[in-house]
A and B are shown apart, each in its own frame.
Chain A
């Protein structure tokens, strides 16, 4: 039986981290009320397929839903969508939206992150971003019949988008202010490998440049760059990262510098927790507080916070993990590869395009990457557990 008499847990943010917290609370036997407040007008869905299966057209939108409606109902949540939290008052223990006040015993902040936009392009119809399901569907429609595109940002999302554009036969130019493509947590070790894939597929690369002006007309969009050159495409996709959604916490007293600062249990302040893209957890393994924008962190943090609130038990710390697929190459990354240390090849061979590699510093393995070798990658994960 769920007790509705007490305020219970309020979860702000109904994406993966927030939903996982709710699932974990119930799985750990929490019987008080759980209120889940979401700003987006959708049931919780998975983001990783947006730049992969959804953009390629392989999946329909509904296939990204995290839970079936029945499973969702079993959690017995008070679920409100289209409600945006505006104020957190910690001393009064309440969250205020435009229309309502929610009292809580425990609060979980899971408001995620918003896409970073390129200044002066916010209202341009040819400029796309990729963060939400609506973004993905809009971009997919915009790709129909076009022959050229510009991608701003050669990070992991930009690289996945470029790979998808190549699959559609769209001639692509990539612009980045950095000197090379950047995959997160890889310490620059994969910059040339990813760049080689771009070049192999006819992508024009413009690295180490700033954007001076952007203009669009009835045929395309043009970027004038700091090296004096200009590039044009029929559309542009801007993939320059995300900003944590912490504006509503501005006067809360919490440390919200690049995300809500938390200890290794996700505690930001007594009875106040944060999980997912909005959170910056201290990691006792690396002794650093890091904000991680990846799905596995959102799940692991959600499971840990739910368990901690329900039982008071801590969960063991985890290494950051992400995966990507670029031009059909399956990339798996655990921990942090260190820049400036040569890779140790653990399995396979880079020249065969199948390998597992690690950086080992003073006998400690700091990161492992699998490139088209998922099983051997998993077998090598124990290297990180020393």
Chain B
């Protein structure tokens, strides 16, 4: 899978880092930082959850 994040849309709610902390982090302003953009498929379920919970819809997932 491949993940893209839109830092212009990100509002720093941190939902992604909460459910998938090994893939998403936040910078000092709270905006999303991708730790890896191609995680293994083991993470598919949590990444999907992060995508759906993101209140700003700033995460795109290509499976």
Which residues on A are within 8 Å of B, measured CB to CB?
A: 20, 23, 27, 46, 48-49, 53, 66, 295-296, 299-300, 303, 321, 323, 325, 330, 332, 373-375, 377-378, 381
Contacts and interface: CB of A to CB of B under 8 A. Distances in A.
Interface in B1-46: 9, 11-15, 17-18, 26-31
B48 A374 contact: no
- Interface SS of chain B: loop
B18 A373 contact: no
B17 to A, nearest CB: 6
A385 to B, nearest CB: 11
Contacts of A373: 30
Interface of B: 9, 11-15, 17-18, 26-31, 48-49, 52-53, 55-57
Contacts of A46: 57
A374 B56 contact: no
B11 A325 contact: yes
A204 B12 CA distance: 31
Contacts of B31: 374
- Interface SS of chain A: helix
Given A46-B57, A330-B30, A20 B52 contact: yes
16 contacts: A20-B52, A46-B57, A49-B56, A66-B57, A296-B15, A299-B55, A300-B53, A303-B52, A323-B13, A325-B11, A330-B30, A332-B12, A373-B30, A374-B11, A375-B12, A375-B28
Given A330-B30, A375-B26, A296 B53 contact: yes
B11 A323 contact: yes
A19 to B, nearest CB: 10
B53 A375 contact: no
B18 A48 contact: no
Contacts of A381: 14, 18
A378 B18 contact: yes
Contact of A378 (B11, B14, B55): B14
Nearest to A382: B18
A374 B14 contact: yes
Contact of B13 (A27, A66, A300, A374): A374
Contacts of A49: 56
A378 B52 contact: no
A295 to B, nearest CB: 5
B7 to A, nearest CB: 13
A66 B57 CA distance: 8
